[in-house]
Amino acid sequence: MILKMKYVHYGKCVRCGKLYPATPNLTTCECGGILDIQYDYEAIKRDFKKEDLKAREKSMWRYRELLPVEDQTAPPPLRVGWSPLYEAPRLAGILGLGKLWVKDDGLNPTASLKDRASSMAVAKAIEAGADTIACSSTGNAASSLAGNAAAAGLKTYIFVPSRAPKGKVAQLMTFGATVISVQGSYEDTFELSKAAIDKWGWYNRNAAINPYLSEGKKTVSLEIMEQLHWKAPDFVALSVGDGCTIAGVWKGLKDLYAIGFIDRLPRLISVQAEGCCPLNRAIAENKPWHPMEENTLADSIAVGVPRNPDKALNAIRESNGLVVNVSDQEIMDAQKLLGRTTGVFGEPAGVTGTAGVKKLCEAGVLGKNDSVVSIVTGNGLKDVANTIAHCGEPISIPSDMELLLKAFAERGIHPEG
C-alpha cells in the first residue's frame, strides 16, 4: 500500500511492539494491545518551524505536521481547539502555588476536550470512506462525536450508560445521533458498542481502540506549550478516566520535545476520584491495575475498567508523574473555587484536575516554587444537576426593596461595599 501520510511511519503496538501500516481504519494489535502512531521526527524537525504557525488558523489543525492525516484531508467543519489558556494569579495565591494556568477546554464546539478526538475521528472516517461512526462513551466523547459528525454529514450510533447527564443526552438527540442508553455500567456500555461495531462495520471512535484519537487529544498539549511560548511548566494536571486523554497529553509533550520545540518535559499529575481510581491505585501501589466500582459524581471519569491502561500508566511513569485522588466534595469545592477566582465553569470531571492540584498544595507537595497547568476538560453546563445540588440557593423574593434589605441583613450581606 502507498502511505500517503508524509510524516507517519506506522502504528506500533505498545504491548508487543508489532508494526502496522497506518491505514485509516486501524484498530488494535492482534495481541490486544493498543497501537501508538509513530512519526518521522527528523523529517518533521527539518520541515516544521515555530514561525510556520504564525499565519495558520487558530484551531487544533494548525499542527498539521504532527497529525496523522493524509495530505489532502481537510479539517472537519467544527472549529475545534485553540481554547484559552488563562493565567490564574489569584487562584495561585490562594493555593500557595508559584504559577498556575487554566486551560479551558470546555469552550470547544460541543463543550469538552473530546472534540479534539472526534474531529480526528471524522477526518479519518472520511479517509476510510465510511459514512457512519460509532462509539461508546460516558457522555462527552458521545456528544462530541455526534456534533462533529453531524457537521460533516456523517451518521452516528452512540452508546452511553444510562447515568449520562441530561445535558449530554440533549446534545446527542439534537445532533441527530441514534442513541442507545445502556442500563448498566460503562463496562456494559462499551461491550455492547463493541459487539455492534463488529457486527455492522461502522467506523470505530472508541479512543482505546482507534489509535488516531490520542493524536487528536494531544493537540491540547501542543496548544498549551505554544500559548506558554514554548516554556514548559513543571506540571500538567488533569483528571483521568479511561486513560486516553492523559496518554494524548503526554504524547503531545513528547512530540514537541522530539522536534526540539520545548527543551524539557513537564511532569504529569493524574487526578482520579477516590471512588474510582484504578489507574492511580496501580501507580501508588506499583502493582497491575484492577477494576473498581464507579463511585463518583464525576461521570466522565467514572470508569471502573479503564480501556487504555497501558498508554496511561506508561505516560504517568515516563513523566515521573504524581497521582492524587479526590473526593466528590473536593471536586465540587474546586468547581466553586475555580469559578469564583477565574470565571471558568467546569463540569465535575472537568475540574477534578484542579481539585487534585489544590489537594497537593494543601499537602505541601506543590508550592511556591512550582508552576502548573490545570486542564479543565469539560464545561460545567454539561451537568448542572450536581452543581445545583452543591452550590446553594439564590435569594428568592418578590420585587420589593424592603424584602431585599431584610434578605441581605439575614445573610450578613453588606451591599454598600
Give the residue with the Cβ less far from its own copies, 42 or 400: 400
Taking CB under 8 A as the rule, does residue 192 contact its own copies?
yes
Reported as type and span, the H/E element at residue 104 is: strand 99-104
Query: Which one of residues 129, 320, 399, 412 is an interface residue with its own copies (CB under 8 A)?
Result: 399
Query: Which one of residues 180, 228, 258, 265 is an interface residue with its own copies (CB under 8 A)?
Result: 180
Give the residue with the Cβ less far from its own copies, 17 or 162: 162
C-alpha cell at 258: 522530539
Window of 38-46, 256-264, 316-324, 342-350 that interacts with its own copies by CB under 8 A: 342-350
Burial (CB count within 10 angstroms: exposed 0-12, middle 13-18, buried 19+), residue 85: buried
Taking CB under 8 A as the rule, does residue 348 contact its own copies?
no
Convert residues 286-325 into a mask of x (bound to its own copies by CB under 8 A) and - (unbound): ----------------------------------------
C-alpha cell at 297: 459524581
Convert residues 236-275 into a mask of x (bound to its own copies by CB under 8 A) and - (unbound): ----------------------------------------
Q: How far is CA 37 from CA 9, 41, 99, 374, in A?
A: 8, 12, 33, 26
C-alpha cell at 257: 520535545
CB 16 within 8 A of CB 310: no
Query: Which one of residues 137, 341, 352, 374 is an interface residue with its own copies (CB under 8 A)?
Result: 341
Give the footprint of its own copies on residues 128-147 (CB under 8 A): 131-132, 147
Taking CB under 8 A as the rule, does residue 228 contact its own copies?
no
Query: Which one of residues 243, 278, 350, 380 is an interface residue with its own copies (CB under 8 A)?
Result: 380
Considering the complex, what minimum distance in angstroms separates the CB of residue 406 from its own copies?
12
Burial (CB count within 10 angstroms: exposed 0-12, middle 13-18, buried 19+), residue 272: buried
Window of 6-14, 67-75, 228-236, 386-394 that interacts with its own copies by CB under 8 A: 386-394
- For the stretch 302-322, what's the b/e string if a residue is b when 16 or more beta carbons lie within 10 angstroms of its beta carbon? bbbbbbbbbbbbbbbeebebb
Considering the complex, what minimum distance in angstroms separates the CB of residue 35 from its own copies?
26
Cα separation, 146 vs 190, in Å, equals 17
Query: Which one of residues 140, 148, 352, 371 is an interface residue with its own copies (CB under 8 A)?
Result: 148
Considering the complex, what minimum distance in angstroms separates the CB of residue 258 from its own copies?
29
Give the footprint of its own copies on residues 197-226 (CB under 8 A): 199-200, 202
Taking CB under 8 A as the rule, does residue 195 contact its own copies?
yes
Q: Tell me the CA end-to-end span of the chain in Å, nearest whole number.
A: 71
Taking CB under 8 A as the rule, does residue 284 contact its own copies?
no
Give the residue with the Cβ less far from its own copies, 364 or 394: 394
Cα separation, 333 vs 356, in Å, equals 11
Taking CB under 8 A as the rule, does residue 153 contact its own copies?
yes
Taking CB under 8 A as the rule, does residue 117 contact its own copies?
no
Window of 16-24, 153-161, 235-243, 354-362 that interacts with its own copies by CB under 8 A: 153-161
Which is it for strands 132-136 and 203-204: parallel, antiparallel or unpaired?
Answer: parallel
Burial (CB count within 10 angstroms: exposed 0-12, middle 13-18, buried 19+), residue 141: buried
Taking CB under 8 A as the rule, does residue 86 contact its own copies?
yes
Window of 39-47, 76-84, 273-281, 315-323 that interacts with its own copies by CB under 8 A: 76-84
Longest dimension (CA), the chain: 79
Query: Which one of residues 129, 288, 364, 417 is an interface residue with its own copies (CB under 8 A)?
Result: 417
Considering the complex, what minimum distance in angstroms separates the CB of residue 381 from its own copies?
4
Q: DSSP string covering 304-330, please?
A: SS-S-HHHHHHHHHHTT-EEEEE-HHH
CB 117 within 8 A of CB 244: yes
Positive or negative: CA dihedral 245, 198, 13, 287 = positive
